[in-house]
Copies of this chain bind each other. A is one copy, B any other.
Amino acid sequence: MTTQTAIDNFVNRCRTLGLSVTPQRLAIFKALIDDHSHPRPEDIYKKIKAEHPTISLATIYKTLETFEKHGIVSVVTHLHNTVRYDPITEPHHHVVCVKCNKIIDVIDPSLNTIKVPEHILQGNELLGYSIHFNVICSECRLKETN
């Protein structure tokens, strides 16, 4: 998909969702669409400031949250707000509730035999891998306003 097509899709998507396509939103989307560095809000802010000198960081945060809510962009992990410590040091996996950030262990040896793509091992030292099963947990499902 070309960048222009992606932008057109974005515009249509916003209209369908009832979100107005403001210059700020367009700028933020454009800043992200071809950026594969998984930038922080701050990074996007810096990229945009030249064209939009008056935009505030809070707008970037709010806009990205709106985008994420509607599936226009995604976040790499929902566990980005605070460190979470684990007494288990052996490789294992986790169920993560994206609403309440509850974390449950998944200890299942069959998940430790994944075929690691070769290119990951080129130059990097692999320490291990861990699977995040992203869920809305039963408690949070009950709380949801349907």
Contact = CB atoms under 8 A, between A and B. Distances in A.
B73 A39 contact: no
A39 B84 contact: yes
Contacts of A34: 87
A95 B74 CA distance: 16
A117 interface: yes
Interface in A58-100: 64, 68, 71-77, 79-89, 94-95, 97-98
B138 A87 contact: no
Contacts of A84: 38-40, 75-77, 80
Nearest to A137: B124
A13 to B, nearest CB: 11
A120 B103 contact: no
A86 to B, nearest CB: 5
Contact of A38 (B103, B124, B138): B103
A87 to B, nearest CB: 5
Interface stretch (A17-25, A49-57, A106-114): A106-114
Contacts of A138: 123-124
Contact of A134 (B68, B106, B129): B129
18 contacts: A32-B87, A37-B103, A41-B85, A75-B86, A76-B85, A77-B130, A80-B80, A80-B81, A95-B120, A97-B124, A106-B117, A108-B117, A110-B115, A114-B114, A126-B134, A126-B135, A127-B135, A130-B131
